[in-house]
Structure 1
Amino acid sequence: MADPEKIYPATPHKRNESRKRGQVAKSQDLSAVFNLIGVLMFFYLTKYTVWDQMASVYSVAFKAIPLVDQNPIISFLSVMRILGSIITPILLLGLIFGVLGNVLQIGVMFSAEALIPKFDKLNPINGLKRLVSIRGLVELAKSVFKLSVITYVVASVLIDDYPTLLALGKAGMSHTKSVSLVVATAGGIAFEIMLKVALILLILAILDYLYQKWQHEQDIRMTKEEMREEMKRTEGDPEIRRRIRSVQRELSMARMMKEVPEADAVITNPTHIAIAIKYEYETMEAPYVVAKGERQVALKIREIAIENGIPTIENPPLARALYKNAEVGEVIPMEFYQAVAEVLAYVDELTQRFSGLSAA
């Protein structure tokens, strides 16, 4: 059962680390079924040849070796040669299909850590704990169920083919043709048993793989502390990141405030928002935003504007629209050209009036 404190799904980094340790979602049953499928494929493709070869083994081993044989080594080697020609391709196909079953489940993977012997598994107390754990009980139930299914399949096939087996028992074994018939018939029954067992085990193995995949996801889930530590390793300490962002904001704010004295006008909300605008007719295609801010930042912009004699114009709708749609250092959107132009024209008029009063 998964640890109740593991509330976060595994991150890609945690999955990679688990894979390096050989901890992957894998069903041993599915690999075993693929082995069995490889053996069945061999018997299906070579059923006539292999039965004849097995009959030859019987003949050579039990009929062609009298007690007075002066050269038993030759007969023994003949038997081994025939057995080798049967067993070798079976082992090769079983190995190939077993590897294929693993690759389909987990891909190509090599983990040296998984090969290191874990001596704690030899501890009988630990073994007993694993046995009585939820996972151990599930594995035990699976084994009992599979054994029951296999027993049922074998028994049902043998009962159905009992008359054939009885007839084989009564048949003579003195001729090679009789031996071949017995071997072929018994082999056919064995093939039927293995095929039915393989089909049932394949279904059970697929279900087991889905269970193992779910169980693996539960095992690699992460606690809050593990998530925090991984964030530190992969992205840096959160506290340090917060400090860096804070310093970056302060530097950006300082640069922005230095530009406020160069503005031509400050449009306000009047107290919550402030937008500093600059426009030079000769060099700029459109006005651009020197600085913007809300609340304390807006108050600071207004203070700097007053200190430097920059006109402050109250226009709440325009101030809100520019704050939402215009960025610092960029020209204002085209839809605000007319409104901003009216503000700048009004500022020019105020400046000219002030200049006239000063001259008078």
Structure 2
Amino acid sequence: MSEENDDKPFEASEQKLRRAREKGDIPRSPELNVAAMYLGAWLAFAVGAGLAVKAWLAMATRALGSEGWAPGSTGAIAAALGQYAGWAALALAAVPSLVILVALIAGRGLVFAPQKLAFDLNRINPVKTAAQKFGKSGLVTFGISLAKAALVCAGGWLLFRSLLGHLMASPLAGDRWIADLGVMLGRVLGLALAVSVLIAGLDMGWQWFDHRRKNRMSRKEMEDEYKDSEGDPHFKAARRQRAIEIATSQMLADVAKADVVIVNPTHYAVALEWKRGSGRAPVCLAKGTDEVAARIRERAKDNRVPIWSDPPCARAIHATVEIGQEIRREQFAAVAAAIRFAEKMKEKARAGW
């Protein structure tokens, strides 16, 4: 196993993990489903126990008491008991199933992969099965199962000791034995839920790590994937979007160096820098529309760069001047007015206005 890891020193790429997911190869934790089942059973018990116990207690009290039942009411009694039992069975089946489904969807563990339905000889390969059972994955799985058994035994013993008083007093409790039974069932489910959640956390961590380990990549796989990705339109679009984000981030960082930002006041914004004595016209450091324009204005406010409203000038510079270029001659007069405004604002700021 160590030699295999040495041959594949690189972490799995997002593209490989996506392909693996499409084939149904995802980190799966059976213990998570068990924990979800116990959680559903606990919820069903917590919600339904109060209603069911009252009804059953009334029926048991009447059956065991002195009132008795009216002649010919046996069928009604059986129907009522069957109805209660049916609703209880439905709740105990539906609620855990719903919780398991929610857990699978939340953990992105619900994947339809037709490839998994195809016949595969490797699934009945005894050599591969033995390697899985006695390899690193099998040993970790055995360790998790052993820890689960130890926790259940220890928790069961502590629970038995805590419930010993209820068990000893139940023959003398009269009608209270049903309430005591509810307490005991609730604590048993609580213990099972606590142990399952702890084991599910350990198992999920291991399954995620093992899935990443099995999908590690060699240098050749990395190179082949990169070559294949060059023609992938999704990869190109993602790379182009990333390049745009980097360029936009750098452009917004340059707003702090601007002398003035000319706006229209909501849809356009251009940031200009003028280096006095350089013999050059003002240079466009940043420009944008709508959301980008709002971010430019926000960055200008954060860095105390004066903002000048001149819609025609802002639209003209945005349409004709690229980032890093000087403004055009026909824009000199409007930009000069903006720079004079910016200088006055800076003088007032220095004077403490």
Taking the aligned partners of 1:58 and 1:46, their CA distance within structure 2 comes to 18
Query: Which amino acid in 2 is paired with 1:208?
Result: D
TM-score by length of 1: 0.55
Q: CA deviation at 1:112?
A: 2.3
1:141 aligns with 2:143: yes
Which residue of structure 2 aligns with residue 233 of structure 1?
228
**Unpaired segments ≥5 residues, structure 2:** 66-70, 232-324, 327-353
> RMSD of the alignment, in Å?
3.7
Taking the aligned partners of 1:56 and 1:134, their CA distance within structure 2 comes to 56
Which residue of structure 2 aligns with residue 111 of structure 1?
113
Which residue of structure 2 aligns with residue 94 of structure 1?
96
Taking the aligned partners of 2:155 and 2:86, their CA distance within structure 1 comes to 30
Counting only pairs closer than 5 Å after superposition, residues 286-305 of structure 1 correspond to structure 2 as none
Taking the aligned partners of 2:7 and 2:27, their CA distance within structure 1 comes to 21
Is the Cα–Cα contact under 8 Å of residues 155 and 191 in structure 2 kept in the other structure?
A: yes
Q: CA deviation at 1:191?
A: 0.9
Q: Secondary structure at the match of 2:193?
A: helix
What is the total number of aligned residue pairs between the two structures? 230
Q: Secondary structure at the match of 1:3?
A: helix
Query: Which amino acid in 2 is paired with 1:213?
Result: W
Which residue of structure 2 aligns with residue 24 of structure 1?
26
Pair 1:31–1:120, CA change in 2 (3 A) = same
Counting only pairs closer than 5 Å after superposition, residues 120-139 of structure 1 correspond to structure 2 as 120-139=122-141
Query: Which amino acid in 2 is paired with 1:188?
Result: V
Taking the aligned partners of 1:117 and 1:167, their CA distance within structure 2 comes to 58
Q: CA deviation at 1:82?
A: 1.8
Q: CA deviation at 1:205?
A: 1.5
Is the Cα–Cα contact under 8 Å of residues 52 and 84 in structure 2 kept in the other structure?
A: no
Q: Rg: which structure is higher?
A: 1
Query: Which amino acid in 1 is paired with 2:112?
Result: F
Q: CA deviation at 1:97?
A: 0.8
Query: Which amino acid in 2 is paired with 1:144?
Result: L
Larger CA deviation: 182-191 vs 73-82: 73-82
| Structure 1 residues 3-59: Cα deviation after superposition (integer angstroms, max 9, x where no partner) | 321112222221111001111123221222122112111222233223345658989
Taking the aligned partners of 1:131 and 1:226, their CA distance within structure 2 comes to 28
Which residue of structure 2 aligns with residue 271 of structure 1?
none
Q: Secondary structure at the match of 1:106?
A: coil
Is the Cα–Cα contact under 8 Å of residues 60 and 79 in structure 1 kept in the other structure?
A: no
Taking the aligned partners of 1:229 and 1:154, their CA distance within structure 2 comes to 54
Is the Cα–Cα contact under 8 Å of residues 25 and 106 in structure 1 kept in the other structure?
A: no
2:187 to 189, 192, 213: 192
Which residue of structure 2 aligns with residue 219 of structure 1?
214
Pair 1:48–1:116, CA change in 2 (3 A) = same
Query: Which amino acid in 2 is paired with 1:93?
Result: V
TM-score by length of 2: 0.56
**Unpaired segments ≥5 residues, structure 1:** 64-68, 173-177, 237-332, 335-360
Is the Cα–Cα contact under 8 Å of residues 41 and 95 in structure 2 kept in the other structure?
A: yes
